Structure 1
Amino acid sequence: MTNPALTVGCFRYDTTRALFDGSVREDGIDVTMETAATLPEIFDRLIRGNEFDVAELGLTFYLRLLETGLPYVALPIFPNRAFRHSCVFVNVHSGITEPGDLAGKTIGEFGTYGQDSGVWAKGILMDEYGFKPERSRWVIGGLERPAAPFDFVPHPHPAEVDVSVAPEGRALGAMLDSGEIDALFSANVPECVLAGSPNVRRLFPDFEPLERDYHRRTGIFPIMHTIVIRRDLLRDRPRLAHGVHRIFSRAKDAAADRYRQNRRLYQVQTMVPWMNALIERNGEEFAEDWWPYGIAANRAALDAILRYHHEQGLTTRRWRIEDVFAAELLDT
């Protein structure tokens, strides 16, 4: 008797392409891949509708819901990760030229106070520059279109942190451009920046050297999202955790192999000039597996995000790695 196909909800990345096109398979595991136009849609369908057997979920949403009995458990699979010095944008007329200038300013954040990118940005600024979130005012809303805060997760924040909702009919990108807010912590680059607005710039315009230095010193490649699986599935099929980990790992490795193989042709499959040079420069700083899954290779990043989450008042306890991930994969 064959096992039923797993319904998997996640975004289409390099790391998951081979799952969507079926070029990577695992004996005993059939998957039906689903995605959505935006990541919050996937999260909403998972949290509110339990629509997926396996799905991508932002770490902050997962950690907030752990205390409420979420019927899913995380696997140490990380399809979405990004350095975050680059995600802080400021209005050029705000007087913000360095991190210390954020004190007393009004800062926007998409969807919730403490989105994954915001947790990392705040945490890095706190560790590296003495930033204190309670010294700023925070406005939550949609990035390019007016939107209410996410209604599928709780919105905890410390009592001393001033958090409000964006005015009706206003979006954070436009508010940053006009100076209604002074800064914005955003996983996505605002349209005003892409359009070349003279009113907005990054807090760290030359962010790449800072992010590379941060990686060299800490060993951390920030993790945004994890993969979760239904707890009842693991009870019924205890070997499934390892199978899902293998199939996601093989899909990610297939993507990495494409980059390595494309170097032979000077990356002519991409329109990005000097892609080969970037791959070679990264190879000098990163291990052979520069996008690792599992616990051991990601312990520093996981310890950091769990510490940041608690320090920023988003959970009442400081979760341990052993509390967060499926026991079957703690030795990965």
Structure 2
Amino acid sequence: MTDLPVLTAALGRYPGTARLLDGEIPSGRLRLDFEKVAPISKAFAPMVRSGKYQVSEMAIATFLMARAYDKPLVLLPVVLVERAQEAALLCRKNGPVQGPADLAGARIAVRAYSQTTGMWLRGSLAESFDVRADQQRWTTFEDAHVAEFQDPPWVSRAEKGQDLLGLLKSGEADAAIFGNDLPEDPDLRPVFPDPQAAGAAFQARHGFLPVNHLVVMRRDVVEADPDLVPEVLRMLKESGAAVRSRAELRPALALAIDYCAEQGLLPHRFTPEEAFAGLPASVP
């Protein structure tokens, strides 16, 4: 019997990936060899910069930037993480920011300017409150996952020893964008008075929740054996992941591309169809 091809993979553990990670989804076509990466965001830069994995989770902003710089990745129509973003934007209870409109000209801290949560929030702020990214002063702590990207002029790097929470609590930042782990601090509150209502308004306006993490494969792997793609998709779907069609994912991709371009994250615009370059025609 011919040995099955082994694909190295990096995926986070979610309800939709747990069975796959635990080896409960058999395949007669391939074997996935998972590398433990925690947090999963640490897999994104190695995947973009050196193709470390053959299958990998990836933030949508990272992927779109990678596509713009022609990185050899193929996007699969799979959503691993999607959520409303508004609860991640915090300010001090006694600070100058009372609501989203007060962020015009504000100092905002975020892990990286290219962080996906920040991308969605900046886009929504510009769209709903006319608060644009280049009107604010951004402080960051990390480079983008895509090495070629340089932060725009309205972004500066935090000093050595500073941290996100410290900048916010000290007043050096008027607001800060956090990820999954929100600080439990009685002196802080969301910038949006009702984050759930704001998230619901975004979904009602656009018809979808903001997409955070997708799945990509290395282009050389797909070109060598395109039939591996539908098998990876089958395994993800049987595990419970949100496997969608290109058409279903198009609105989120289109808006994310617009937001990224407006915020200086892309060297040039492209279409959602171009985002799927390299995906076999057999995948709807």
Task: Say whether the fold is shared (TM-score over 0.5).
Answer: yes
Separation in structure 1 between the aligned mates of residue 234 and residue 140 of structure 2, nearest angstrom: 38
Is residue 156–residue 313 contact of structure 1 (8 Å, CA) maintained in 2?
A: no
Q: Give the aligned partner of residue 60 of structure 2.
A: 59
Q: Give the aligned partner of residue 238 of structure 1.
A: 226
Which amino acid in the other structure matches residue 186 of structure 2? S
Higher-RCO chain (CA-CA 8 Å, sequence separation at least 6): 2
Which amino acid in the other structure matches residue 258 of structure 2? R
Residues 23 and 295 of structure 1: CA distance in aligned 2, closer, same or farther (over 3 Å): same
Is residue 294–residue 329 contact of structure 1 (8 Å, CA) maintained in 2?
A: no
Percent identity over paired residues? 27
Pairing 1:306–2:272 present: no
Q: Give the aligned partner of residue 270 of structure 2.
A: 319
Separation in structure 1 between the aligned mates of residue 182 and residue 172 of structure 2, nearest angstrom: 15
Pairing 1:122–2:111 present: no
Cα root mean square deviation, aligned? 2.0
Normalised to the residue count of structure 2, the TM-score between the two structures is: 0.91
Structure 2 SS opposite 1:15: coil
Q: Give the aligned partner of residue 280 of structure 2.
A: 328
Query: Structure 2 regions of 5+ residues with no counterpart?
Result: none
Superposed displacement of residue 330, structure 1: 8.2
Q: Give the aligned partner of residue 153 of structure 1.
A: 147
Superposed displacement of residue 151, structure 1: 6.5
Which amino acid in the other structure matches residue 328 of structure 1? P
Q: Give the aligned partner of residue 136 of structure 1.
A: 136
Which amino acid in the other structure matches residue 246 of structure 1? R
Q: Give the aligned partner of residue 15 of structure 2.
A: 14
Residues 68 and 151 of structure 1: CA distance in aligned 2, closer, same or farther (over 3 Å): closer
Pairing 1:181–2:170 present: no
Q: 1:227 aligns with which of 215, 224, 227?
A: 215
Q: Deviations over 1:72-131 (max 9, x none)?
A: 211111112111122211122331112121112110011x21311111011111112211
Superposed displacement of residue 26, structure 1: 3.2
Separation in structure 2 between the aligned mates of residue 214 and residue 69 of structure 1, nearest angstrom: 31
- For the pair shown, the structure with the greater C-alpha radius of gyration is 1
Structure 1 SS opposite 2:81: coil
Separation in structure 1 between the aligned mates of residue 194 and residue 215 of structure 2, nearest angstrom: 32
Structure 2 SS opposite 1:225: strand
Is residue 134–residue 263 contact of structure 2 (8 Å, CA) maintained in 1?
A: no
Which amino acid in the other structure matches residue 178 of structure 1? S
Q: 1:167 aligns with which of 151, 156, 159?
A: 159
Is residue 108–residue 136 contact of structure 2 (8 Å, CA) maintained in 1?
A: yes
Normalised to the residue count of structure 1, the TM-score between the two structures is: 0.79
Superposed displacement of residue 157, structure 1: 4.3
Separation in structure 2 between the aligned mates of residue 184 and residue 130 of structure 1, nearest angstrom: 19
Pairing 1:109–2:107 present: no
Superposed displacement of residue 56, structure 1: 0.8
Separation in structure 1 between the aligned mates of residue 145 and residue 204 of structure 2, nearest angstrom: 38
Is residue 75–residue 329 contact of structure 1 (8 Å, CA) maintained in 2?
A: no
Q: Give the aligned partner of residue 287 of structure 1.
A: none
Moved more, 98-107 or 212-221: 212-221
Count of matched residue pairs: 282
Separation in structure 2 between the aligned mates of residue 91 and residue 67 of structure 1, nearest angstrom: 37
Separation in structure 1 between the aligned mates of residue 128 and residue 65 of structure 2, nearest angstrom: 25
Q: Deviations over 1:276-331 (max 9, x none)?
A: xxxxxxxxxxxxxxx55222222221211111111111112222111112432686
Is residue 309–residue 315 contact of structure 1 (8 Å, CA) maintained in 2?
A: yes
Q: Deviations over 1:234-275 (max 9, x none)?
A: 11212122111221122125xxxxxxxxxxxxxxxxxxxxxx
Q: Give the aligned partner of residue 246 of structure 2.
A: 295
Structure 2 SS opposite 1:118: helix
Which amino acid in the other structure matches residue 242 of structure 1? P
Which amino acid in the other structure matches residue 327 of structure 1? L
Q: Give the aligned partner of residue 91 of structure 1.
A: 92
Which amino acid in the other structure matches residue 98 of structure 2? T
Residues 41 and 331 of structure 1: CA distance in aligned 2, closer, same or farther (over 3 Å): closer
Separation in structure 1 between the aligned mates of residue 225 and residue 37 of structure 2, nearest angstrom: 28
Residues 121 and 104 of structure 1: CA distance in aligned 2, closer, same or farther (over 3 Å): same
